[in-house]
Structure 1
Amino acid sequence: MSSIKVGRNDACPCGSGKKHKQCCLQVRQQAAPLPKTQGGAMGSPAELLSQAIQLFVQGHDEAAASRCQAVLQRVPSQPDALHLCGLIGLRQGRPLEALQFIDRALSSEPANDTMHSNRGIVLQALGRHEEALTSLRRALDLDPRGIAAWTHQGLSLMALLRLDEAELSFRAGLDLAPSDAAALNGLGQCLLRAGRLDEAARVLTQACIADPQSVTARTNLGVVHAALGRHEEALVDFQQLVALAPDRAESWDRLGGLLQEMGEAEPARDAFTRAYQLEPQPARLLRKSLVLSHVHRSLESMREERQQFEAQLEALLAAPAAPAEFDMSSFLPGIFSLAYQGDDVLPALRKLATLYLKLFPGLAWTAPHVTRPADGGRGLRIGFFTSYVHDHAVAHCFAPLMQALVENAGFEIHLISHRQLPLGEGRRPYAGYTGRFVEVSDRLTDARQEIAALELDILVYQDIGMEALSYFLGFARLARLQCVMGGHPVTTGLPEMDVHLSSSLGEPDDAQAHYSERLVMLDAIPASCEQPTLPSRFKSKLELGLPSEGNLYVCPVMLQKIHPDFDRAVAGILEADPHGYVVFFKHASLPLDRHLRSRFEQTIAPELRERVLFLPWVRNRDDFAAINALAAVILDPFHFGIGSTAATTMAVATPFVTLPGKFLRGRVGLAYARMLEVEACVAIDAADYVRKAVQIACDPALRDRLSAGIQENRSRFFDNQAYLAQIRGYLASGREGPGAAPRKLMDN
């Protein structure tokens, strides 16, 4: 096990109390090869123990154990032999056996700090961190200079989420040895867990310099770089990782995950395949088999990839598979990508749910209170699970609803997340929230228990499917009624989701056929946002790096939403308006614009491509509002269109053009147009979309008329009382609960 590999500055495993480099490492470097023995180990106990230590340092565990056993046959309580047997057991993955040996050693030498330190490391391996702390503190009482004890004490404190204490422990070790790679790596991990990413990157860089061969430090540095959005640096880290440990499956997992996030589907599949070849596991089988691109090279390649995805899914369902222990890394980002392709996702999502339950039957879990009669003597207990409690579009859409429900005397509201509720400006969407906030574990089994302990009548998922924990929680029955809201406006395909709250303003007539949940239609947009505060003066085109002349056709969405079908509309607009520019926004950190530019080279003529602009991602709200205000028209892309960013568009009253798709995710623009009573913005086909976009941009009177309509009616979105009242009424009615048996609505 990597946790007991002996570094040069670690305590020597022989129990001398010296550093390894000052003790047995010298023996290893200076000693001649061991003589072969006939008929087993020979020599005095001292000679045998010396041989055992040398063999252990060289990695020959079986031979070292044989020498130790020979010593113990003659001197059963010899502490150094017992201690070394414990270290061998730990390295070979037998921590309980290791603990027994080290406890026997300590009975003879109770004041040996190295043995207490290694006992703490064994207890860490067993997950018994409170006991580990007791042993590590005893080691430090005996020798405060024990760097390994300070480091491992920090690791146990970190496992117990006592991050401030963990940081102090790591720093105490670094005060003794500022370049100790293990302590630097531990501190870097601690800073990562605390969300102090820039500090973590600096410390982990030092750890990699201190020990260029450290797989753990290089892994952690790559994770931090990716979390900071520095994906090119993370790619270098993970490429170095697979060079350091090419036979380690996790190295290839890391590389594959990053490549997939960067939109490099084929290299990601190759990396996942290599990981599976090294260590075949269900999660790796899923990852290598079900990879999808973020931005597709062409319509044909998108369809080919989708066919391959569905064929692999069918093959996995048909193949025999033994139930396995759940692995969170089995989550497939492709679940999210499927929705961008413009096709019905329900069949694939249902099959995927069936596959997960086949591989991980433990996902189907029921909270104990659900099977008992409801407590009619209290208010309705409602939980809202979200992955986005920080300054995020989902939070901005649903925070007003949360506060409105808190003010209802008949409701007991719980906002639930595995993310910490931020402090300061980052908390802005929930700054006025006065209900209860419940932070749960990011481990599935713990999170289920913690939510079950709330004994909810209704559990509402605001954004299920956008990340792993919310998706896998959705397989469990944690409340009598379980609902889905439109943070991700797509069905889940999950058998335990009862109701999907949607809007008749956007859904097509055959909408129910595309949902595994029963649709509950609201007569309003199912969101309510605070109206953005606009600056007193917008920046000019020049200040924002935009062309000073010509109409701006701005498409303010993530590049994953730019379907190949939309390319023809972009080209058509640029052909019809020879002085116009189509403006996209780069991803904040991923090189998705590179893939989209490459596709445009095949679908848009060179003279037109010169007027396709990719602006850097705009984090400043005032600048984003200014770009929306300077736009002649906002382009709502095909199949998966504009969402919460429409709040800024409405605030500046810029007209938009939209072409309704087959599913709600491509019809939100239609819903906005109906709500705002500007249905002149709605196209009937792609050619009409181009005509309307250019007409709005080039006809000031039409543009002003549409802008006035948006200004007149936008309060229906920013002060969406109809939505708040309808949600409040639906939840209060308890149509499927509390007290009603859970309904499985897979066969709509």
Structure 2
Amino acid sequence: MSNKLFYEGRWKEAIAQYQKFLEIQSGDADIYWNLSYCYRQLNLLDEYFSTLQQGIKLYPTNERLHFSLIIDLRQNGRIQEAILSADNAAKCFPDDYTFQLLKYLAVPSIYENQAEINFFRQRYTQGLQNLIQHTSLKTTEDQHSALAGIGRLTNFFLSYQAQNDIDLQRQYGNLVHEIMAVNYPQWIVPLSMPKLQPNDKIRIGYVSHYLHSYSGTLWLTGWLRQSNHESFEIYCYYTGNETDPITQQFQEYSDVFHHIPHNLSAACEQIIADKLHILVFPEIGMNPQTMQMAGLRLAPVQCVAWGHPVTTGLPTIDYFLSSELMEPENGQEHYSEKLIRLPNIGVSYPKPYIPPIIKNRSDFQLSDDAVIYLCCQAPFKYLPQYDFIFAEIADRVPQAKFVFLRGTLLQPRLKRAFAAIGLNSEDYCVFISIAERLDYLMINLLSDVYLDTFTWSGGNTTLEAIACNLPIVTCPGEFMRGRHSDSFLKMLGVTDTIAENEIEYIEIAVKLGLDPVWRRSIAEQMSQNHDRLFDDKACVAGLEAFYIQVVETTSLYCHDRNYH
């Protein structure tokens, strides 16, 4: 009965039924998993975690219970408990590489203060050393366990510490490559560039787990749509399994489209069989299977683009396809790959469809006289050293309402920042959950100002805000990942809201809040200049010129090497 309710998604009734059942007998590990899942669906986190812990006490050798507990404790800002749970799991499963990775490399998804960032940076650095020393790839069991481990996790959260990750990424990238090499020795040998006969096209492959409506790959549709099919043959490999209208676009814009979900070997075999000249990963670092594939040599030249804007550190990735407007002068110092600065913002972003305004503020419990500052980034993009900025703006704009869209993880930190200058954060900070894309766009259209995050700026979110003509306050950071919004506004030709430092950022945000005339004039300039930014052809021409040049030089180099 409990399971029937569970599979029908009737969470509350399933919980009541499972509890009755557990009063009579202890049940198996799956029951604890199902019960915990019901609590999670209802966002009852304390009950969720305690159910997993109960299950682990009774079934200490159930990997799924351990894994969920560790991952979700971290995700919910409970890093110390996550680390203790990872240590416990590593003791229960000494030969399981997944729990070694979690034990040594866990970093928080959000930080309480700046000192915590430094502490976890050092912990990760030391943990990576220990992991590398303790990684044994001698037996087939070791090799398979390590492969499974890196197939379940990436080190995604490291890059949100706002530091140069090149050394740590290189160490991690070499480790991934080594694990892939012992498991797939046939796919790590250098490949020579296929010869081009007079009427041949250059074969370009794009492989991703996310060829659907996803922020890290949405821009790629522009590259494909504008591509020159006279000179290039486009192959797409979709390794995920969520199909939607954007997947259809990828299919439509490709000459060859392979959908090979969740099957690493099959995807690699297909790529090798297609004898590509160049293989491009739109992002590496978000999906574990993509990271595994990128640790192999599946084409003579392999590139990564900035869907996840951080160096991969992988010895098998040759080029990082970035943007002229985003990279600082010393950009190459941040990459293990050779940095390629494509024209403008480097991507041809399709202009989003923005619907007419069909809702009003009261639909979202927001008042008409508030000055709404939209804060729509994921919590892990907000670093604690910048919390004071919200309080400073509120101090000078009494009507300010900061609208956060991704949960309440930042609430305790904001409470402290506002209290530090004698304000109550609850008077100013609003946390809204939005499930529908339409509602998300409505919030953009109903807001007054978009506040960009420091050190890791908005990408997709900023481009959509620009399409909604929402004035954007941004301050470019040290690394490309903190300079997206800056580059978009420069290309748009609307630069009055780009700040040089934190003080200026506050000034601009306050002026936009208090001066509706200036605010409207910024919005007006934005709306007139959309064509400068969206559907850019120059970057695609630059990309294809790079492709042609790299095929020619690699062919010459191979020929030369063979001759000698």
Q: Deviations over 1:378-417 (max 9, x none)?
A: 3211111112122222342211222333x51222212112
Letter aligned with residue 276 of structure 1: A
| 1:641-671 Cα distance to aligned partner (Å, 9 max, x none) | 1110123211121211111110011011110
Contact 1:396 1:429 in 2 (8 A): no
TM-score (norm 1): 0.66
Contact 1:575/1:608 (8 A) holds in 2: no
User: Structure 1 residues 427, 691: closer, same or farther in 2, change over 3 A?
Assistant: same
Matched, 1:484 2:299: no
Letter paired with 2:205: G
- 1:133-171 CA-to-partner distances (Å, cap 9, x unmatched) read xxxxxxxxxxxxxxxxxxxxxxxxxxxxxxxxxxxxxxx
- What is the match of residue 635 of structure 1? 451
> Residue 268 of structure 1 corresponds to which residue in structure 2?
82
Q: Determine if contact 1:553/1:580 at 8 Å carries over to the other structure.
A: yes
1:484–1:501 Cα contact (<8 Å) kept: yes
1:558 matches 2:372: no
> Which stretch shows the higher mean deviation, 328-337 or 474-483?
328-337
Q: Secondary structure at the match of 2:364?
A: coil
| Contact 1:586–1:614 (8 Å) recurs in 2 | no
Would the aligned equivalents of 2:174 and 2:313 in 1 still touch at CA under 8 Å? no
Mapped partners of 2:266, 2:33: distance in 1: 26
Number of residues of Structure 1 aligned to a counterpart in Structure 2: 544
| Aligned: 1:419 with 2:243 | no
- The Cα of 1:521 is off from its aligned counterpart by 0.6
Counterparts in 2 of 1:517 and 1:222: CA distance versus 1, 3 Å: farther
Task: Give matches, 1:346-357, under 5 Å.
Answer: 346-357=166-177
- Whether 1:667 and 2:483 are equivalent positions in the alignment is yes
C-alpha separation in 2, matches of 1:207 and 1:431: 45
Q: Deviation per CA, 1:484-538, whole angstroms, max 9, x where unpaired?
A: 1111111111111111111111111100000011111112112233323333334
Relative distance call for 1:404 and 1:217 in structure 2 (3 A) is: farther
- Distance of 1:389 and 1:236 partners within structure 2: 37
Amino acid at match of 1:245: Y
Distance 2:153 2:506 in 1: 33
1-structure distance, mates of 2:440, 2:476: 25
What are the within-5 Å matches in structure 2 for residues 594-633 of structure 1?
594=409, 596-605=410-419, 607-633=423-449
Query: For the residues of structure 2 that align with 1:433 and 1:222, how far apart are their CA atoms?
Result: 43
Q: Please, which of 699, 709, 715 is the counterpart of residue 515 of structure 2?
A: 699
Aligned to 1:298: 113
Instruction: Give the counterpart of 1:386 among 208, 211, 215.
Output: 208
What SS does the aligned partner of 2:496 have? Answer: helix
Choose which of 235, 244, 247 in structure 1 pairs with 2:58.
Answer: 244
**CA 1:631–1:366: 2 relative to 1, 3 Å:** farther
SS in 1 for 2:203: strand
Q: Is the 8 A contact 2:147 2:179 kept in 1?
A: no
Distance verdict in 2 for CA 1:680–1:428, change over 3 Å: farther
Q: Which residue pairs with 1:46 in the alignment? A: none
Aligned 8 A contact 1:366 1:478 in 2: no
Shift of 1:201: 12
Q: Report SS of the residue matched to 2:460.
A: coil
Match of 1:310 among 115, 125, 129: 125
The higher-RCO structure (CA 8 Å, 6+ apart) is 2
Deviation string, structure 1 residues 418-455 (Cα, Å, up to 9, x no partner): 213615x5746647535322123524444333332222
Other structure's SS at 1:679 match? coil
What amino acid maps onto 1:715 in structure 2?
A: D
Q: 2:255 corresponds to which letter in structure 1?
A: G
Q: SS in structure 1 opposite 2:300? A: strand
* Counterpart check, 1:404 vs 2:218: no
How far apart are residue 465 of structure 1 and its match? 0.5
Please state whether the residue corresponding to 2:322 is helix, strand or coil: strand
Q: Does the alignment pair 1:688 with 2:508?
A: no
State the shift of 1:694 in Å: 1.0
Distance 1:201 1:602, change over 3 A: closer
Alignment partner for residue 404 of structure 2, among 584, 606, 619?
584
1:518–1:458: structure 2 CA closer, same or farther, 3 Å change rule? same
| 2:307 counterpart SS class | coil
The more displaced of 235-244 and 475-484 is 235-244
Alignment of 1:13-24 (within 5 A): none
- Any conservation in 1 of the 2:207–2:238 contact (CA below 8 Å)? yes
The match for 2:73 is 259
Secondary structure of 2:423 counterpart? helix
The alignment partner of 1:697 has SS state of: helix
Question: Superposition pairs for residues 41-80 of structure 1, below 5 Å?
Answer: none
Amino acid in structure 2 at the alignment position of 1:315: N
Give yes or no for contact 2:18–2:35 (8 Å, CA) kept in 1.
no
Measured in 1, the distance between the counterparts of 2:274 and 2:507 equals 54
| TM-score after normalising by structure 2 | 0.86
Sort the Cα spacing of 1:230 and 1:379 in 2 relative to 1 into closer, same or farther, 3 A: farther
Alpha-carbon distance change, 334 to 260 in structure 1, aligned in 2, over 3 angstroms: farther
Q: How does 1:16-415 map to 2 (within 5 A)?
A: 213-216=27-30, 218-219=32-33, 232=45, 235=49, 238-281=52-95, 282-318=97-133, 321-323=136-138, 324-325=142-143, 326-330=146-150, 335-357=155-177, 361-362=181-182, 365=185, 367=187, 371-372=191-192, 374-377=194-197, 378-405=200-227, 408-415=229-236
How many angstroms apart in 2 are the aligned matches of 1:496 and 1:204?
48
Q: CA, structure 1 residues 317+336, in 2 after alignment: closer, same or farther (shift >3 Å)?
A: same
Q: In the superposition, relative to structure 1, how do residues 558 and 612 fare at CA in structure 2: closer, same or farther (>3 Å)?
A: farther
Deviation digits for residues 652-693 of structure 1 (CA, Å, limit 9, x no counterpart): 212111111100110111101210112211111101110011
**Of residues 338, 341, 359 in structure 2, which corresponds to 1:518?**
338
> What secondary structure does 1:688 align onto?
helix
Q: List runs of 5+ in structure 1 lacking aligned partners.
A: 1-178, 189-196, 588-592, 743-748
- The worse-fitting range, judged by mean Cα deviation, of 275-284 and 561-570 is 275-284
Residue 561 of structure 2 aligns with which residue? none
SS at match of 1:456: coil
2:277 is paired with a residue of what secondary structure?
Answer: strand
**Which stretches of structure 1, 4 residues or more, deviate above 6 A after TM superposition?**
199-212, 223-226
SS at match of 1:603: helix
Q: How does 1:651-666 map to 2 (within 5 A)?
A: 651-666=467-482
Instruction: Note if 1:509 corresponds to 2:329.
Output: yes
Distance in structure 2 (CA, Å) of the matches to 1:397 and 1:520: 17
